[in-house]
Structure 1
């Protein structure tokens, strides 16, 4: 079967995430099931894997027939609520999140994620949602466009981009329309598409919700592994691991000890090898951070 998605930093994730073979683990971004299948190989028959993915096609195309896995078609921001509703509210041994867009989504033209294919600007990971990239282009105000391009694309002068979109928005419908309008280099266009995608899928707020839920879902000694692909995500994860809160504020007790939920000494930052980047270019910008609950 053709690979739906090549998992990034697979060996490193398994090495550091799995420490209790009888434990319950959460794969919050199931995707092509690559990480999930490897986790199932490592855990015992008593172990469990609870997986989530908001893209229904991931569920349909990559379903794993194994009694140890439970798969939910939902965004990872809803993990705690779904587990409670399904009466599977347990303390878990580890949580994994591989952030960003999957290879399948990028390589499927009609999903509108890639500058390589000409199709309607969509970029929804969950097709049941109404907001698409085209909706943003057609309806957002100058101020709202400025805000998203500055925050999510790291553009220093977003007003230039926003003004150009406003002047030409009635002519923009497809990915190539946007590419043609700016006619810039790959780096510029990648950041532009990234900013729209993050806004469409509310990715930063979803990540914040996942991180906050991880504090209570993980049991003592439990591990949290996050793979991010751009500085905005990575900075949020790094500060959360350091401080135990999404605001990145260090809170201390009367003796000056950091009150973070996570073990400072265990926290690791791992990059893909040159060999992995060669075989899977998507891994180039990946950063894996792993921490352990105290």
Structure 2
């Protein structure tokens, strides 16, 4: 990557575990690879550096900002403006039957957290949006309005892992039904009796729970694992970076047991019914140097799965 490209990519999102992930991913320079989360393009640019003239990279991102930020001009590169959950459809469209590797850097980019208008952070007042694709789908405000109190409580309990989730849901529904829940500040004011603004950890969990539900992140991850397994050629690799247990647990379970629940399913001979095996027993973590350089990398875990 040139110095200008590095500055451009890191201004949007600092790639996490960059060298470790690309070293694990690119096993065949002539191969076909997928970057499921283009973001600022840091991983994609590094993948292209490892490919031969015969190789090709397809990069997915549903965020219009990612497309606007994309400056890669390379015949070996195709940008797909879509959620990665649709990778089978698009690979069929492009006539691709198998790929050599699939990379996914899950979670929010630095761009999402630092963009004051998107509603992903409680640091800024903004519309209560939280959509990764700002051109379609329900906003967080609409999700709250359309959910029952019980459904909203379950979202906050399961995706935010929040204590008192049903009490918080009651406050949110009351404010939403009264037309008083349209902005981030409205949200903070509404939940203040349970989560004061100084309780940053609980606020982060609240925002995480709503964001995951708005974007159906766990459903998309499950579909990526299932459809990606079908698309990978033998010895092809999943390389997935997660940032919290709700992302990491399904990936770990899928690599070990073939399903996100972790239930061990075997055939009549006791052989596990899984097509993917973990390359390492434990995840790869950022170095101390990377954590110092990029504090947002501290919770990252890299897992590698190989198709048998």
Per the TM superposition, whether the score is higher than 0.5 is yes
Indicate conservation of the 8 Å contact 1:27/1:52, yes or no: yes
Shift of 1:22: 1.0
Shift of 1:172: 2.2
Deviating more after overlay: 170-179 vs 265-274: 265-274
Work out whether 1:211 is the aligned partner of 2:218.
no
Indicate conservation of the 8 Å contact 2:279/2:306, yes or no: no
**Distance in 2 of aligned mates of 1:246 and 1:51:** 24
Work out whether 1:243 is the aligned partner of 2:251.
no
Shift of 1:73: 0.2
| TM-score relative to the length of structure 2 | 0.91
Gaps of 5+ in 1: none
Shift of 1:265: 5.3
Work out whether 1:173 is the aligned partner of 2:182.
yes
Task: Report what 1:132 is aligned to.
Answer: 139
For residues 97-146 of structure 1, the C-alpha deviation after alignment (integer angstroms, 9 at most, x for no partner) is 11111111111111111111111111111122130011123332111111
Deviating more after overlay: 261-270 vs 64-73: 261-270
Shift of 1:264: 4.5
Indicate conservation of the 8 Å contact 1:268/1:291, yes or no: no
**Distance in 1 of aligned mates of 2:37 and 2:278:** 25
**Distance in 2 of aligned mates of 1:91 and 1:138:** 42
Shift of 1:267: 5.4
Deviating more after overlay: 238-247 vs 162-171: 162-171
Deviating more after overlay: 246-255 vs 143-152: 246-255
| TM-score relative to the length of structure 1 | 0.95
Deviating more after overlay: 198-207 vs 272-281: 272-281
Indicate conservation of the 8 Å contact 2:154/2:166, yes or no: no
**Distance in 1 of aligned mates of 2:174 and 2:97:** 53
Task: Report what 2:201 is aligned to.
Answer: 187
Shift of 1:155: 1.8
How many residue pairs get matched? 293
Q: For 1:66, which of 74, 81, 91 is the aligned residue?
A: 74
Task: Report what 1:228 is aligned to.
Answer: 242
Gaps of 5+ in 2: 1-6
- In the TM superposition, 1:1-294 aligns within 5 A as 1-2=7-8, 3-87=11-95, 89-169=96-176, 170-181=179-190, 182=192, 183-184=196-197, 185-264=199-278, 266=280, 268-294=282-308
Deviating more after overlay: 261-270 vs 207-216: 261-270
Indicate conservation of the 8 Å contact 2:278/2:303, yes or no: no
**Distance in 2 of aligned mates of 1:205 and 1:263:** 21
**Distance in 2 of aligned mates of 1:171 and 1:222:** 50
**Distance in 1 of aligned mates of 2:151 and 2:273:** 37
Shift of 1:13: 0.1
Shift of 1:56: 1.5
Change beyond 3 A, Cα 1:111–1:178? same
Indicate conservation of the 8 Å contact 1:227/1:288, yes or no: yes
